[in-house]
Copies of this chain bind each other. A is one copy, B any other.
């Protein structure tokens, strides 16, 4: 059987109470004694039974998720996944609070984070807007030993403990290669559709996409980026307009949300125009478009995985426990019509 606190006490020749003081870094232990105990812990390879400890402490993990409002499908799915996690709260000893903040609204996000100051919180997960003010609050929370995890969108140069999201540069590069290869050496124009260049994930996707296109697909020319602000109506008119004005367009990369508008615009010109399309985020709309051939590939990040991963990481960080790094790597999913879940 694995060693317990009693074994430590016996091995170190001290009492249970002293072992407890060392383990829970309570005061009242001389340095030499503390080292003796720590040596014994190492010697016999003690590992704390977290379950028993949590039982004794009556531990719950008060977690906060800060997610943007807005009606785009991805964020809707994300909120729904967090909600699902709250249903498992009983089993997982979590107590999850969801705070909604207007998308891209830096002051609001900062205010929400600020309000957490001094509260008894075992972790914060936030969809970060990449601004210095946000970084400042996050760094302060970290310095107060509150586990912070960025979700979906990361925060440049911050000290957040973990990022639960995909590598967006790699996503952009992958989109470029898929589009490039699917177009099989043809020559023509490509249009890129983004939500907003203000968010880091969109910038990074574009960056990766442009890099691969420039280096490996010289026959494909990138048109100026269209910013649809994740708004279906606006997106639809932007796409319709550019398709009408430029007959050399043979491919589209949609790296943001608001694909409803894109799909509507595409359906309006099909099948006369033959276009190869790669989009982000698997939703009911992109799924349908994939099946009927309007879209050729969808890159996706699994919101459920991201939320569950964020929870595991926050709990582990709060306990000073190690995580299985491999398990927490969020993968870029590539969906063709054949491997839809």
- Which residues from chain A sit less than 8 Å from chain B, CB to CB? 1-2, 47, 49-52, 54-55, 58, 88, 90-91, 167, 170-171, 173-174, 176-178, 181-186, 208, 212, 296, 304-305, 308, 324, 326-327, 329, 331-334, 336-339, 341
Contacts and interface: CB of A to CB of B under 8 A. Distances in A.
A177 B338 contact: yes
Taking the full assembly, how many copies of this chain does it contain? 2
Contact of A331 (B58, B182, B333, B336): B333
B52 A171 contact: no
A187 to B, nearest CB: 13
A338 B212 contact: yes
A29 B337 CA distance: 55
Name the residue in A1, A49, A90, A181 with the highest tally of chain B Cβ atoms < 10 Å from its Cβ: A181
5 closest A-B pairs by beta carbon, nearest first, are A184-B184, A173-B338, A51-B51, A334-B334, A174-B339
Contacts of A178: 336
B55 A339 contact: no
Given A2-B90, A55-B51, A91-B47, A338 B181 contact: no
B47 A339 contact: no
A254 to B, nearest CB: 18
Given A184-B184, A305-B327, A341-B331, A336 B55 contact: no
Contacts of A49: 55
A90 B47 contact: yes
